[in-house]
């Protein structure tokens, strides 16, 4: 409980600091934010209306306190370009990006765990050599290029899956594989090295000495201990994807957070950009907190740190 409370306090403090950094980085810009949004040729009456709407006639500290109070009530403000609540826009886009990130990491684990275990068990074999070559190639391939190849093969030529847009879960399969393949290459090496280390431990020799089945030793003992490093690495990839599926969303035309952020930046919708940055950072922090709890369950030694 002490460990969890320590992490929760750190989460809350970090969220507050990110909120402050996000707000002040947008609101203490050189020049007039209203001019940045509407342009120098904007209508003077509209400029004054926008300044009043954004609260620019108030001290920045007062605006921050008001904005923070709105955050605590789930109010992120209103989009300048869309004239709707920012929370609603993000709520519509978040499930797409979150589902894509989780599916991509899940596929990467499904590929990397059996392949990495095989490489660890059969060291020096043709399978290990071939796997290491493929993982090296996989790490070098850009995800957007893989996405284009997958669209050409499975959407255009075979017509198995939709090439772009978001209509159902099937629309996430190709982009998820495009993101999963490079990450599976990295995770395969993590699984391999973690399993090699686990299989060299004394408790594995003891398990073999007790006459336990090879499969039980491999999966119940070695993989359980190697899972700490595996899930830690997978968690890093998940947080990266939560903050960086922008290019793939563009390639596949997915209405996720990345697409929304590009539109907000191009349209100079500063309140929406501010809300998207804050929500993305908060999501990454929450996922990291969940990962800490998972590692706590996997590694009891953390409870005594």
What pLDDT, in 10s, does the model give residues 80-132? Answer: 778 788 888 898 888 998 999 999 999 999 999 999 888 888 887 888 888 88
d(CA 253, CA 256): 9
d(CA 293, CA 237): 17
Adjacent-strand bridge partners of 78: 85
d(CA 53, CA 264): 18
d(CA 261, CA 254): 12
Please tell me the predicted confidence (pLDDT) of residue 103: 93
Please tell me the predicted confidence (pLDDT) of residue 32: 62
- How many residues are given for the chain? 305
Q: Are 191 and 120 spatial neighbours (Cβ–Cβ below 8 Å)?
A: yes
Residue 254 CB partners (closer than 8 Å, separation 6+)? 96, 97, 100, 164, 165, 166, 171, 172, 175, 245, 248
The values of phi and psi at residue 76, to 5°, are -95, 5
Cβ neighbours of 201 (radius 10 Å): 13
Please tell me the predicted confidence (pLDDT) of residue 184: 92
CA distances to 40, 176, 258, 305 from 43, rounded to whole Å, are 9, 45, 31, 61
Angle at 54 between CA 49 and CA 59, to 5 degrees: 115
CA distances to 241, 244, 264 from 271, rounded to whole Å, are 23, 20, 9
Adjacent-strand bridge partners of 85: 78
Element (H, E) at 198: helix 173-199
Picking from 225, 237, 235, 216, the residue whose alpha carbon sits closest to that of residue 196 is 225
For each of the domains in the chain, give its residue range(s) and CATH number, in order of start. Answer: 96-267 (1.10.3720.10)
Q: Are 34 and 56 spatial neighbours (Cβ–Cβ below 8 Å)?
A: yes
Q: What is the rounded end-to-end Cα distance, in angstroms, of the chain?
A: 12
Parts of the chain with a pLDDT under 70:
29-42, 54, 56, 244, 299-305
Please tell me the predicted confidence (pLDDT) of residue 290: 84
Q: Which two tokens stand for residue 148?
A: 């284009």
Phi-psi group of 78: left, alpha or beta (phi > 0 → left; psi -120 to 50 → alpha; rest → beta): beta
């Amino acid at each position: 409980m002490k460990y969890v409370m320590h992490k929760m306090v750190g989460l809350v403090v970090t969220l507050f600091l990110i909120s402050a950094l996000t707000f002040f980085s947008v609101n203490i810009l050189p020049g007039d934010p209203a001019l940045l949004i509407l342009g120098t040729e904007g209508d003077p009456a509209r400029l004054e209306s926008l300044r009043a709407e954004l609260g620019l006639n108030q001290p920045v500290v007062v605006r921050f306190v008001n904005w923070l109070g709105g955050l605590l009530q789930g109010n992120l403000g209103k989009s300048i370009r869309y004239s709707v609540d920012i929370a609603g826009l993000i709520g519509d886009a978040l499930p797409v990006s979150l589902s894509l990130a989780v599916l991509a990491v899940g596929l990467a684990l499904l590929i990397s765990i059996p392949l990495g275990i095989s490489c660890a068990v059969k060291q020096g074999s043709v399978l290990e050599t071939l796997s290491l070559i493929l993982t090296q190639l996989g790490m070098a391939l850009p995800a957007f290029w893989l996405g284009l190849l997958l669209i050409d093969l499975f959407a255009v030529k075979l017509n198995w899956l939709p090439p772009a847009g978001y209509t159902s879960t099937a629309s996430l399969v190709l982009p998820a594989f495009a993101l999963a393949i490079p990450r599976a290459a990295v995770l395969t090496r993590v699984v391999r090295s973690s399993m090699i280390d686990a299989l060299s431990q004394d408790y594995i020799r003891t398990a073999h000495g007790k006459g336990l089945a090879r499969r039980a030793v491999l999966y119940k003992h070695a993989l359980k201990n190697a899972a700490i490093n595996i899930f830690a690495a997978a968690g890093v990839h998940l947080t990266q994807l939560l903050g960086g599926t922008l290019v793939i969303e563009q390639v596949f035309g997915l209405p996720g957070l990345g697409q929304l952020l590009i539109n907000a930046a191009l349209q100079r919708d500063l309140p929406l950009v501010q809300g998207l940055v804050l929500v993305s950072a908060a999501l990454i922090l929450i996922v990291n907190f969940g990962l800490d709890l998972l590692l706590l369950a996997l590694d009891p030694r953390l409870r005594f740190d």
